[in-house]
Structure 1
């Protein structure tokens, strides 16, 4: 992940946006975060389907991780949108 400009998120997560990153770079990074979330979601679904007894605490942790990855992807996408708008205005 790019690091330079720290931006705080609601639940204590932070995202470090590179001030020099292009909207294209940020869109690629957003896609990467969302693919991680998708992969974790698939893994969690498979584990639930194959399990006789579910560990609710671990399922909850997995779901929280998916949410965090999705928030990171959404934040990257928002940054890309802002930078595209700035580029068009300038």
Structure 2
């Protein structure tokens, strides 16, 4: 089995980025932690899928592997970013109380 992946359309990436940034309005720390969990679960799922594909593949294209790892890194970065935002929001809420 040859592992090939589709290169994402730039408009899809722009849409995803706009969707993520459109939530920059006032969100609770709870909302931010839920979003962080969601992004980290996506990253975990893609990592598991990629590992399964690699185990079953006859050959792996380095370029496709690099794109996949970059996608995992981006999802992980978004999750960690949301955790940081949640922590900051929690501190603000605590200081205001």
TM-score above 0.5, yes or no: yes
Larger RCO (alpha carbons 8 Å, 6+ apart): 2
Partner residue of 2:64?
A: 58
Partner residue of 1:71?
A: 77
Q: In angstroms, what is the RMSD of aligned CA positions?
A: 1.5
- Give the helix-richer structure, 1 or 2: 2
- Give the strand-richer structure, 1 or 2: 1
Which blocks of at least 5 consecutive residues in structure 1 are unaligned? 1-12
Which deviates more from structure 2 when the two are superposed, residues 50-59 or residues 63-72?
50-59
> TM-score, normalized by length of structure 1?
0.80
Q: How many residues align?
A: 78
- Aligned pairs for 1:4-19 within 5 A: 15-16=20-21, 17-19=23-25
Which blocks of at least 5 consecutive residues in structure 2 are unaligned? 1-16
Q: Within the alignment, does 1:42 sit opposite 2:39 as a pair?
A: no
